[in-house]
Amino acid sequence: MVDDLLAGHGRFRADLGANERKLLAGLAERGQRPVAVYIGCSDSRVIPELLTDAAPGQLFVVRNVGNHVPRTSEGDRSVGAAIEFAIGQLGVADIIVCGHDGCGGVKAALDDLAGLDPDSDLATWLTGLRPAVDRARAVSLDPAAELARAVEEHVLDCLATLSERWIDQPGEGATIRLHGWVYDLANAALRVYHEDAGGFVPVAELGVDPRSP
Ligand SMILES: [Zn+2]
**Which CATH number covers residue 90?**
3.40.1050.10
pLDDT at 166: 83
Q: How far is the centre of ligand 1, averaged over its atoms, from the C-alpha of 15 (Å)?
A: 31
Length reported for the chain = 213
CA of 140 to the centre of ligand 1 (A): 23
Are 124 and 75 in contact by the 8 Å Cβ rule? The answer is no
82 and 92 fall within a common domain: yes
Taking CA 138 as the corner, what is the angle to CA 135 and CA 141, rounded to the nearest 5 degrees?
A: 110
Ligand 1 centre from 64 Cα, in Å? 8
CA of 134 to the centre of ligand 1 (A): 18
Domain contains 210: no
| Together in a domain, 151 and 182 | yes
Give me the number of domains the chain comprises.
2
In SS3 terms, 125-144 reads as HHHHHHHHHHHHHHCCCCHH
E strands present in 74-188: 94-100, 177-184
Q: What's the pLDDT at 96?
A: 98
Question: Edge-to-edge, what's the strand order for the sheet holding 94-100?
Answer: 59-64, 36-41, 94-100, 177-184, 189-194, 199-202
Q: Are residues 97 and 198 in the same domain?
A: yes
CA of 11 to the centre of ligand 1 (A): 29
Among 182, 213, 201, 190, residue whose Cα is nearest residue 54:
213
Same domain, 115 and 10: no
How do 189-194 and 177-184 pair as beta strands? antiparallel
Do both 16 and 40 map to the same domain? no
> What range does the domain containing 18 cover?
1-31
Distance of CA 181 from the midpoint of ligand 1 (Å)? 13
In contact, 63 and 95? CB cutoff 8 Å: no
pLDDT of residue 207: 78
Q: 92 with 77, same domain?
A: yes
Asked if residue 96 belongs to a domain, the reply is: yes
Same domain, 196 and 128: yes
Identify whether 56 is part of a domain.
yes
Whether residue 137 sits in one domain with residue 91: yes
Distance from residue 71's CA to the centre of ligand 1 (Å): 19
Kindly state whether residues 99 and 10 are assigned to the same domain. Answer: no
Residues 187 and 198 in one domain: yes
Q: Distance, CA 141 to ligand 1 centroid (Å)?
A: 20
In a domain? residue 182: yes
Query: Mind listing the pLDDT tens digit of every residue in the chain (213 residues)?
Result: 999 999 999 999 999 999 999 999 999 999 999 999 999 999 999 999 999 999 999 999 999 999 999 999 999 999 999 999 999 999 999 999 999 999 999 999 999 999 999 999 999 999 999 999 999 999 988 999 999 999 999 999 999 999 998 887 666 556 899 999 999 999 999 999 999 999 999 998 887 776 665
Within a domain: residue 213? no
Same-domain check for residues 57 and 149:
yes
What are the C-alpha distances in Å from 205 to residues 7, 75, 167, 178?
Answer: 40, 39, 28, 20
| Residue 83 within any structural domain of the chain | yes
User: CA-CA distance, 59 to 115, in Å (whole number)?
Assistant: 35
Task: Answer yes or no: do 8 and 72 share one domain.
Answer: no
CA distances from 95 to 9, 13, 80 (A): 30, 31, 12
